[in-house]
Each structure stands twice: as structure tokens, then as C-alpha cells.
Amino acid sequence: MNVLVIHGPNLHLLGKRRPEIYGKATLAQLNAALREHAAWLKVKVRIFQSNCEGEIIDLLTANAAWADALVINPAAYTHYSYAIRDAIEALELPAAEVHLSDISKREPFRRISVIKPVCQAQFMGEGIFSYLKALDLCAGIR
Ligand code: DQA
């Protein structure tokens, strides 16, 4: 099982960006937890972070043949990127949408996900565990 993990814009700032909302862990610490959990699940991961919509689409395209599943935190693109939505749909990647915070309980603009309709599952509000649960789903244990 090969899982492509993509972190969207501003997630490189984890640890110092709104820690009361996104937690104190840095992106490096989050990625270390993902790699450790993936190893335990016997899942291979490729992990990327990008601040650019087009680059995320290029990463999806370049890794689509390798990936059996996608775990994506589209960050702010969640709320308006029809381009990323279309890429996930077009590449027919089984996908789990992930958020550190609970977007359903935040500002009105964050409550909308244009990515959700092309994903099999949505995990949110559990910090790093949102990602780990998405990996569990990919590995078939959830
Ligand atoms: C986020 C929620 C988004 O609304 C926000 O723009 C992010 C992070 C989350 O993980 O909670 O950058 O996707």
C-alpha cells in the first residue's frame, strides 16, 4: 500500500502558527509521526508540503501512478479550490481529507469544503491524530 500525503499552504508554519488551534507540533514532528505510524502499518508514504495550488496538482499528477491512496490536508484550498478538487476526481485517487482543527466549528468560510465530495472520508479536529486515522483507513484497519 502506497500512500501519498500532501500538506497544503501555511502548514510549513506548524508549531508557531496559531498553536492554540493547530497544536505545538512542527511539520517535521508531524511528518515523523506519520512515517512512524506508516511503518507500523506497513504502508509506504511519500510526503509533500506546498504553498501553491498548481504545484499541488502537479504533485498529485506525478505521484498518481505510484499512489494507492491519498491523504490530503488542502488547508485554505479546502474552502475554494475547484482545481484541486477536479485533480483528485480526474486522477481517481481514493482520498481522505484531513484537518488538524474542526473546520465545522470555525468561521463560516471554513465550514465549506469543496474537496469533501471527491473524498471517501474526512478526519478533522484531532490534531495529528486526524492524519493517523486517515492512514489507518488507507491501511484498511479503520
Ligand atoms: C486546516 C484548516 C483550514 O481552514 C486552514 O486554512 C488551514 C489548516 C486544518 O488543518 O485545520 O490552513 O486545514
What's the domain count of the chain? 1
Task: Report pTM.
Answer: 0.97
**pLDDT digits 0-9 by tens, 33-65:** 999 999 999 999 999 999 999 999 999 999 999
**pLDDT digits 0-9 by tens, 14-37:** 999 999 999 999 999 999 999 999
Looking at the domain assignment, is residue 137 inside a domain? Answer: no
Q: What is the mean pLDDT of the chain?
A: 97
**Could you tell which of 6, 18, 22 is best to mutate to test the pocket of ligand 1, judged by most ligand atoms within 8 Å of the CB?**
22
Looking at the domain assignment, is residue 40 inside a domain? Answer: yes
Cell of 93: 485517487
Percent helix, strand, coil in the chain, to 5, is 50, 20, 30
Q: Classify 94 as helix, strand or coil.
A: coil
pLDDT of residue 35: 98
Give the containing element (helix H, strand E) for 93.
none
Q: What's the CATH number where 88 sits?
A: 3.40.50.9100
Residues 134 and 44: their CA atoms lie apart, in Å, by 14
Looking at the domain assignment, is residue 81 inside a domain? Answer: yes
Does the annotation mark 82 as catalytic?
A: no
Looking at the domain assignment, is residue 1 inside a domain? Answer: no
Residues 100 and 22: their CA atoms lie apart, in Å, by 6
Catalytic residue among 22, 37, 77, 131, which? 22
Q: Domain containing 36: what range?
A: 6-44+52-126
**pLDDT digits 0-9 by tens, 81-107:** 999 999 999 999 999 999 999 999 999
